[in-house]
Structure 1
Amino acid sequence: MKHKHEWMETLHLDNQLSLEDIPDLDLYMDQVIQLFEKKFADQKRNENEKILTKTMINNYAKGKLFFPIKNKKYSKEHLMLISMIYQMKGALSINDVKLTLERLNTKITDETFDLQQFYSSYLEIMNVNHTMFEKDLHEHMTEVETEVTKVNRDDEGYLEQVLLIATLTNMSNFYRKAAEKLVDEMTQKEQGDKNEA
């Protein structure tokens, strides 16, 4: 694949909802949707794709993926959680996202928990992940180019794309399986803790 670096930049994977992006005042649902649409517009697959909709937010609320809102407004903490949900839902089921964030929601509402500090750590790790991903993707592309020349010199561009798609979906499955295993372990531990209490 030619111009790997330029192609990687078109993915806009370094785009995250930073603490500076989140206003200090509470937002109505339409304002939340607008904020996310503006922030993640470059990551849309096509113009018709929606980053966040009223239905999605209502489903997250009904599913208790985040703690209840007050006066139809979403706080800074809600926006941080919605940002994490947005990232997780691409790989995990909504139920797994709920299980992952359940205790965090309890900590936010029942304890004095600094979600901003936690979210800052989350963003820092996302930046590290982005750097690692670019390096890994470059290596996958190089490996695919090498392998395709062994198979067939005709239609190399297409065959490279097929192998790269297969490689990336395989890696995605590895990471998803690892995340699901962690969700299962977390759930089993918390169930065990409840049974002991």
Structure 2
Amino acid sequence: MNQKDLINQIGQIRSLMEKSSKFMSISGLSGVLIGSYALIGACIGYVLVYGFNSEFGYRDNYVNSAIIPKLLCVALAVLLISVGTSYYMARQKAQKSGQSVWNPTSKALFKAMAIPLITGGVFSLILLLKENYSMIASSMLIFYGLALSAASTFTFKELRWLGVLDIILGLLALCLPGYGLYFWAVGFGVLHIIYGLIVHQRYEK
């Protein structure tokens, strides 16, 4: 065995070790669908808050307590459909490769996401109860971005960039609360679609 063959074999072994330590069953197409759900939810939320005849632009008025239950229903529906789609497509992808969708790596991934997601959820709930509605969109983006960055250690490296961009958008939304809904739509919608297309192109074709 010459040196070139030895280097190739070491590279293959390293690649196999990396794949075995990462959760690769996340579907890129599920990212596209989740982003699409978020955009639909953002459009519904915009209509609920501003109506059909309003113009796009900076908003110095925020939602009131009367509209909150409707927005929560929309957000909950988007969340449940997104989680269901993500799990179903991950399970289908795992079955095709002869793996289990619930394994030590996926458990580690969800544990890494749990703390920032739970913290962000509680923080957003506190803002909701305090009627500080202008900060909810930004806080959701920031904590969600932190969760994605933490989870990227156990899956595709592209997830880290999605998390970083969501954090940046969340900070911008904090500075410009009148554009909160737009930042939310870009972070949870557009960026998810772009991420899903990149993952699908690089790893699933």
Of structures 1 and 2, the one scoring higher in RCO (CA 8 A, sep 6+) is 2
TM over 0.5: no
TM-score (norm 2): 0.28
TM-score (norm 1): 0.29
Give the number of the structure whose residues are more often helix, by fraction: 2
